[in-house]
Amino acid sequence: MADTSTVGAARADAPPPAATRKPRSVLRRGRAVTPYLFLAPYLVLFLVFGLAPVLFGAWLSLHQWDIQLPNRPFVGLDNYRDLFSSDSAIYGDWWSSVRATGIFTVFSVPLLVVVPLGLALLLNEKFPGRTFFRAVYFAPYVLGVAVIGLLWRFLLDANLGLVNRLLGAVGLPADTPWVTDVPWAWVSLVGVTVWWTSGFNAVIYLAGLQDIPPELYEAARMDGAGAWDRFRNVTLPGLRPVMLFVLTTTILASANVFGQSFLITQGAPGQETRTVVWRIVDEGLRDNDAGRAAAMSILFALALAVISIVNFRFFRYRED
């Protein structure tokens, strides 16, 4: 300790005129390099694990690519054409998986944006046991998809499950096919997902709510604004950036749904609840057609990118 301080002191005490110029020139030269040095670790990771796989995927999608087969012929845009041509073997499966993902996303996203908001507003109030309830609503989120999947598969079983038994006990129909027929399968998948992930979005909202300055509420109250007016004119605008984040990540997460239908409905009936990600996994890993899987991934990624951009535009427009 003493050593370092004396060294430091010695340096500070001895400023030779030549030395002042030198560091300055190093700094100046460094100015161009410094930001890149800070960026470098991430940039390297991004190039290796982000950009390179995407480019490689694009390259794969132009081939019939089986990791084990010695010849992986270049097929041009055939893989993409197969996805759009009704006489290919994968056309039906692909579009039914797109439909499944679409249905799930359209029904789950609004619920996952609104329900957690309501939850966060409630949990933001002061009442006894608040921390306990915050924990309760967040709790399911810490469980893995395998756990909640198996759990709900048994609870929702049409013939043996607890859900139908409870419904029967209160005089409601007790033979609803929750996991084997549509639309019930969708109700189950969306319901389970809302139960499972609402806590996460609620926590984000809570953080956002606590960032809104209390003076704004006080001022609004003094101006005679009611609860609804305060929510509309103070809370919602204050939450806008948070909502954009929640909406975007929720859309992406919902579009990437896989485990729930894999475990709870097993794709039934037929393949109606088999989602895009599941389809891609099957194509690439089970059917060993990495080219087709890559073509599917790229189309899917482009679609999600477009949706996200529209999403951002929409929010920015409202801000203006």
Partner 1 sequence: MMRNEMSRRRLLSLGVGLGTAATLTLAGCGGDDEGSTATGNGGKEYTGPKVDLKLWNGFTGGDGEIFKKLVDTFNTEHANIAVGVTTYRWEDYYAKLPGAVSSGAGPDIAVMHMDQLATFAARGVITELDDVAKTLELTEADFAPTVWQGGRYNDKRYGIPLDMHPLGFYYNKAVMQKAGLDPEKPPTTRAEYDAALVELKKSGVQGFWVSPFQFTGGMTFYSVMHQWGGTLFDADVAKATFNSDPAVEACTWLVDMIKQGHSPANVGQDADYLALKAGKNAFNWNGIWQINDLKKSADVQWGVAPLPQIGSKQAAWANSHNFTIVKQRSTDANKVAGAKVFINWLSQRSLDWAAGGQVPARKTVREDAGFKALTEVGALAPEIEYAAFPPAAPGIGEVLLTFYNSFNEAVLGKKSPKQALDDGVAKADKQLEDNRKKYGS
Between 63 and 134, CB nearer to partner 1: 63
Span between the terminal Cα atoms of the chain, in Å: 56
Q: Which of 54, 57, 72, 141 binds partner 1 (CB under 8 A)?
A: 72
Between 64 and 311, CB nearer to partner 1: 64
Q: Which of 92, 118, 168, 183 binds partner 1 (CB under 8 A)?
A: 92
88 binds partner 1 (CB under 8 A): yes
Alpha-carbon span 53 to 67, nearest angstrom: 15
125 binds partner 1 (CB under 8 A): no
Touching partner 1, residues 176-235 (CB under 8 A)? 177, 179-181
Q: How far is the CB of 252 from partner 1 (least distance, A)?
A: 24
16 binds partner 1 (CB under 8 A): no
* Binding span for partner 1 by CB under 8 A among 43-51, 214-222, 247-255, 261-269: 261-269
Count of positions on this chain that bind partner 1 (CB under 8 A): 35
Between 93 and 133, CB nearer to partner 1: 93
Q: How far is the CB of 298 from partner 1 (least distance, A)?
A: 20
Q: Which residues pair with 74 in a beta bridge?
A: 63
Touching partner 1, residues 49-68 (CB under 8 A)? 64, 66-68
Q: How far is the CB of 255 from partner 1 (least distance, A)?
A: 23
